[in-house]
Amino acid sequence: MANKAVALYQSVKINGKWTFRKVPEQRLRRLSEGKYHVSWYEGAKKKMEPVGLEPDVARAALTRKERELALIAVGGKIAEPENKDSIRVSAAVEEYFADLRLREGKDGYGVAKKTIQAYNRRLGLLTEYRPSACLDDID
């Protein structure tokens, strides 16, 4: 049987360090603004997805994920939207880096090696955090 446990976490600063703190059930009705994440388990791996800053959006995302997992638990499947025009962020990032590598070190039109490393670090976080996201999903 699939795990149906879903929790809402808020990013909070404790002793000068940012961390995630689980939002207790009794506080779900009166949330303040903040960075929220929905957390659940897929097999033995914990998944965490950002859901935004607004309390209403965070509650809606929590409910949606609970319903998705309940559907999966009874044998249902979540249909992936079929948008053939959408390009995956990971594919766009790979194409971008291929272009950067072609221009690496060329005078006047080139890109510095450290610039590529910095972009790789930053865009790598995006592709790691949301590997299946489409460009249409990113603002």
Q: What is the pLDDT of residues 59-115, one digit of tens each?
A: 888 888 888 888 888 888 777 656 556 778 888 888 888 888 887 776 666 788 888
Type of residue found at 64:
R
The secondary structure of 120-139 as a DSSP string is: HHHHHHHHHHSTT-BGGG--
Type of residue found at 59:
R
Tally of CA atoms within 13 A in the half-sphere of 40 that contains its CB: 20
- Count the residues in the chain: 139
Report the predicted TM-score, pTM, of the whole model to 2 decimal places: 0.54
The pLDDT confidence band at residue 38, using thresholds 50, 70 and 90, is: very high
What is the distance, to the nearest Å, from the Cα of residue 3 to the centroid of all Cα atoms in its chain?
20
d(CA 106, CA 46) in angstroms, rounded, equals 44
Question: In this structure, what token pair is assigned to residue 139?
Answer: 């603002």
| pLDDT of 71 | 85
Evaluate if residue 58 carries a pLDDT over 80: yes
Evaluate if residue 117 carries a pLDDT over 80: yes
Listed range (10-19, 35-44, 87-96) with the worst mean pLDDT: 87-96
Type of residue found at 67:
R
